[in-house]
Amino acid sequence: MAEFKRVLVTGGAGFIGSAFVRNMVKAHPTWQIVVLDKLTYAGNLANLEPVAEHIIFRRGDITEPEDARRVMDGIDAVVNFAAESHVDRSLVDARPFVRTNIEGVLVLLDEARKVGVQRFLQVSTDEIYGDLSGADRHSLETDAPAPRSPYAASKTGAEHLACSYGISYGMDVVITRGSNTYGPYQYPEKIIPLFITNALNDQPLPLYGDGSAVRDYLHVDDHAAGIDLVLRHGEPGKAYNLGARLETTGVEVAERILGLLGKPRELMTFVTDRPGHDYRYSVDPSRAEALGWKRAWDFPGGLAQTVEWYVQNKEWWRAVREGQAFKGHVEKWYKR
């Protein structure tokens, strides 16, 4: 088992990154956690307020070698969450995804190699596997990548870079591939926080196509726990799927949210389908489960907890939705 004293978390003010930081402060109180985040539209220092006194925060861009270099001193492990992550935005403009998700990972790998970090964990996604619709199977870590969006392609490229540094330079690299993640503090452009906040505002819940696309929804705390386990116990050079084994359609998500909030089903609205839409993702997480990982949340319980968080934290999400980054994307995307 790897032992760490000083861990760098890039993208640690984002949704999954901040959940990882909050959980690690509790789980590993002896770790010194350094967070590097550019604070783009999806990064929010409010996400780190509960643990602000227990971490070191540095603002910076992973694509800038100097920014990466100044936070690497004494680092034992790097956990890279920093990424552009929204498929819809990648379909509008893929360039930021290539810049951050590929070039940024290259910068981090170079700087981590120079200081001799013990382990580099690249946080990836089940979207690299592509569409499983029409198949009665689950994606395995040994499956060939088949990305179908610029976002998924950029994350695939990042994985290949990380693995190449393991082979070419002997770096200890591990990869996690998480399924669709939800929970508190998620930026409301993704389906679950978008639907919750729209419903709270009595606005339509936009479902792509016929709403039958299937995703395997994983609670963010379970995702963070899986990353923690792989960071400490994963085999060098291996990838690990993190999925909840809970496949759910978009219509089911909308219905559950409306039911929890007591809102009418008529708020469900079917909109123009996403170009190249993948209609099923499903991963087999047996490899991570063999390490001892097991999800704690089922979808009904996790969704209810998430809905309640947004109900109780209207100030947080209203401030986000009032920003131009949110308004501009919604205006551009849904009026295509």
User: Catalytic residue numbers?
Assistant: 126-127, 151
Confirm if 211 and 249 have CB atoms less than 8 A apart. yes
Angle formed at CA 221 by CA 10 and CA 239, multiple of 5 degrees: 60
Give one DSSP letter per residue of 200-268, joined into a string. HTT--EEEETTS--EEE-EEHHHHHHHHHHHHHHPPTT-EEEE--S-EEEHHHHHHHHHHHHT--GGGE
What contacts 29, CB < 8 A, 6 or more positions away? none
Farthest CA pair distance, the chain = 57
SS (H, E, C) 248-266: EEHHHHHHHHHHHHCCCHH
Phi, psi of 212 (to 5 degrees): -95, 0
Angle formed at CA 22 by CA 221 and CA 114, multiple of 5 degrees: 105
96: nearest Cα among 172, 178, 151 = 151
258: nearest Cα among 331, 207, 312 = 207
Cα 23 to the center of its chain, rounded Å:
15
Confirm if 42 and 85 have CB atoms less than 8 A apart. yes
> Mapping DSSP to helix (H, G, I), strand (E, B) and coil, where does residue 178 land?
strand
Distance CA 189, CA 197 (A): 10
Distance CA 8, CA 73 (A): 10
Give one DSSP letter per residue of 110-172, joined into a string. HHHHHHT-SEEEEEEEGGGG---TT----B-TTSPP---SHHHHHHHHHHHHHHHHHHHH---
